[in-house]
Amino acid sequence: MLRLDKALSFSYLLQYVESPERHERKYVVESQNSIMNQIPFQGSPCGNLESSSVHSEGTVLDLIPDADKELYPHQLDGFKFLWRNIAGDIHIKKLEKLPGNGGRGCIISHAPGTGKTRLTIVFLQTFMKLYPACRPVIIAPRGMLLTWEQELKKWNVGIRFHNLNEAKLSSEETAIAAGIIGQTGNQEKNKDYNRFIKLYSWMKGGSILGVGYRLFEELAGENEKKHCNGKFKKILLELPGILVLDEGHTPRNNQSLMWKALTKTTTQRRIILSGTPFQNNFSELYNTLCLVNPRFSHQIMSETSCGRNLTKNAGRKRKANAARDEWANLTSSISKTDSDADGLKKLRSMIEPFVHIHKGSILQNTLPGMRDCLVILRPTDLQRKLLQNVARVDKFLEQAYLASLISVHPSLVAEKPEFSDHKRKLKSLASDPNAGVKTRFLIKLIQLSIRLHEKVLVFSEFIDPLLHIKNLLKSHFSWNEGREIIYMDGDQGIKQRQHLINSFNDKHGEAKVLLASQRACSEGINLVGASRVVLLDVVWNPSVERQAICRAYRLGQEKVVYVYHVMTLMEVKKYARQAEKERISELIFSSSDGGGGGGRSAGCDGVVSEDKVLEAMVGHQSFGSVFERIVHQPKESDLVRTFGFVDLKQ
């Protein structure tokens, strides 16, 4: 049997080798390996100032015509901040040679929706004017790469963008391929071939490479599968002159292959773009800071007594562990109380040199405004009964998941074994929106919003509620998916998703509602077509919620944005924990640009005068009873005291 397997295997391989397709593929691989073996890896990835450059006087601001008109004030400050950290100065005379230590990385922590992409494009455009040999790489969530490509075209900066995640070659890349290999044939079916062409085009200079986080991990991580004999890994780790990490809080786990791969890139010129660098805890924040500034751990050790006492002969691992311990000691008291003013001051002083903060005052100054409401609803009798049963579930996360489904609509748990006794009854209620307090609220909100010609954006952490709501909207309003209803989750391709976004944002289009997965669609996309945002459930990470809101509340929005955090009393405890995380983030990443605003809490009568739709719902004779309480600007109000039963230590 073994010999037969070998014979069959050999016969198959021989047939494959001798086929014309195999012969062509072998020729392509040999050609690309021959060319890639000639790639030089020595020398600076950026080089020195272009000797033939006409820009030899003034500052880098002079490279931007009408800089004060092109950029907002916070973007101009961020632009200069980038130059001082990445290159050492803003005066062109002093930029003739980049710092020998490779510069220093930095974080642009500007509120979501305030133009970080535009700022970065302007910086890269000017940097590439002075250092044309530099090879910038933008690493981002896969779905955002198309946004970068479109923004580069929109602003007409004349820089090519090579999307390594895109399966097909662009027309320019196809022409380059023809010049290298001499023919195209069926080579677009070969992923490594297409990636080679994109990398080769980028390595020639004058262009930007875009790659998704997961693909970067695949090609440059510890488990990489020797694409092109390991050349891809070597290229991605050694050749970039600047590394831009969009949504740079994504690789925040120091045990992940992604984080480890990114830390091995040789360039120190790393830029993290993140409106929400603090995600869940101080340990993750430390990982983010060390990723963008590898010398941050040394800084901690030099500024603490423990670090100064550690001998120079201590091993790297021991020093790294000691630095992490010092960070934990410094931040432990900050997370528990606001009273550790000295610790907070020390922490801010440590990160201030390489973290530029803008809390979003530009949005308040230029946009019509935002009304943020916590809407606590009274569940139906059936929902209340089911929620009581959920309390008996042992696993905490499963308990939270089931409670979230039940709060939207009870039929969502019809197939769950915990509710098998109610299965028939729950299924019979599936088409009735009034059977669930959140679906009832949502249908009414949408009905009133479309009368005002406003579009509604609905986010959920889970797919099942979105699919159920989609069916309810179809039957209740006689709407169609793709026309009045837009549905988005993580399964759509990048181009299909962009088409859906464009359809929703079209002022003259038929779209009324967009149902979106919070995890797949909360970052990096523009949904300014919506002026009503509904968050159906509570997530543990406050930055996910904030990112979702800022899909609509961002530069380009022309209407007041109304945000509804919809929940039942059982979910308030989870929300209060989320608010506590956001409080800590605000303590660390505060700025002098304002952006606050006095918050106030109120009962139903205190806030609805600012919201015609909510006012109509509360005042409706048969509908007002669904409201338990409404809190205006909940993250600015004293939520913990408002709900005194919440114990954040649990």
Identify whether 581 is part of a domain. yes
Q: Averaged over 63-87, what is the pLDDT? A: 91
Cα–Cα distance measured from residue 254 to residue 260, given in angstroms and rounded to the nearest whole number: 7
Instruction: Report residue 314's pLDDT band, with 50, 70 and 90 as the boundaries.
Output: low
Return the pLDDT at 650. 31
Domain of residue 265, residue span = 64-253+261-279
- Please indicate, yes or no, whether residues 267 and 318 belong to a single structural domain of this protein: no
- Please indicate, yes or no, whether residues 368 and 269 belong to a single structural domain of this protein: no
Q: Is 412 helix (H, G, I), strand (E, B) or coil?
A: helix
Q: Averaged over 11-35, what is the pLDDT? A: 46
Q: Which two tokens stand for residue 526?
A: 């523009």
Q: What is the 3-state secondary structure (H, E, C) of 47-67?
A: CCCCCCCCCCCCEHHHHCCCH
- Please indicate, yes or no, whether residues 158 and 230 belong to a single structural domain of this protein: yes
Instruction: Report residue 231's pLDDT band, with 50, 70 and 90 as the boundaries.
Output: confident
Whether residue 220 has pLDDT greater than 80: yes
Is 41:238 a contact under the CB 8 Å cutoff?
A: yes
Whether residue 41 has pLDDT greater than 60: no
Return the pLDDT at 6. 37
- Please indicate, yes or no, whether residues 185 and 158 belong to a single structural domain of this protein: yes
Domains identified in the chain, total number: 3
Is 187:193 a contact under the CB 8 Å cutoff?
A: yes
**Exposure string for 232-269, b = 16+ CB within 10 A, e = fewer:** bbebbbbbbbbbbbbbbbbbbebebbbbbbbeebebbb
Of residues 215 and 579, the one with the higher pLDDT is 215
Q: Are strands 627-632 and 370-377 parallel, antiparallel or unpaired?
A: antiparallel
Identify whether 111 is part of a domain. yes
- Please indicate, yes or no, whether residues 274 and 165 belong to a single structural domain of this protein: yes
Return the pLDDT at 450. 97
Q: What is the 3-state secondary structure (H, E, C) of 619-635?
A: HCCCCHHHEEEEEECCC
Place of tokens 């967009």: 514
Q: Averaged over 330-352, what is the pLDDT? A: 78
DSSP secondary structure letters along 140-164: E-GGGHHHHHHHHHHTT---EEEET
Return the pLDDT at 315. 63
Cα–Cα distance measured from residue 351 to residue 153, given in angstroms and rounded to the nearest whole number: 34
Q: Which amino acid is at 89?
A: D
Of residues 224 and 600, the one with the higher pLDDT is 224
CATH of the domain at 608: 3.40.50.300
Alpha-helical (H) ranges within 429-551 are 437-451, 463-477, 494-505, 518-521, 542-549
Mean pLDDT of the chain: 82
Is 546:276 a contact under the CB 8 Å cutoff?
A: yes
CATH of the domain at 148: 3.40.50.10810
Identify whether 392 is part of a domain. no
Is 436:383 a contact under the CB 8 Å cutoff?
A: yes
Whether residue 154 has pLDDT greater than 70: yes
Closest CA to 437 of 371, 536, 338: 536
Q: What's the Rg (C-alpha) of the chain?
A: 27
Please report, rounded to a whole number, the percentage of residues in the chain having pLDDT higher than 90: 50
- Please indicate, yes or no, whether residues 181 and 223 belong to a single structural domain of this protein: yes
Q: Which two tokens stand for residue 377?
A: 């609803």
- Please indicate, yes or no, whether residues 271 and 325 belong to a single structural domain of this protein: no
Identify whether 271 is part of a domain. yes
- Please indicate, yes or no, whether residues 194 and 326 belong to a single structural domain of this protein: no
Identify whether 458 is part of a domain. yes
Q: Averaged over 116-144, what is the pLDDT? A: 94
Contacts of 363 by beta carbon, 8 Å cutoff, 6+ apart: 111, 113, 114, 370, 553, 554, 555
Cα–Cα distance measured from residue 54 to residue 48, given in angstroms and rounded to the nearest whole number: 15
- Please indicate, yes or no, whether residues 317 and 366 belong to a single structural domain of this protein: no
Lowest mean pLDDT among 69-83, 220-234, 248-262, 609-623: 220-234
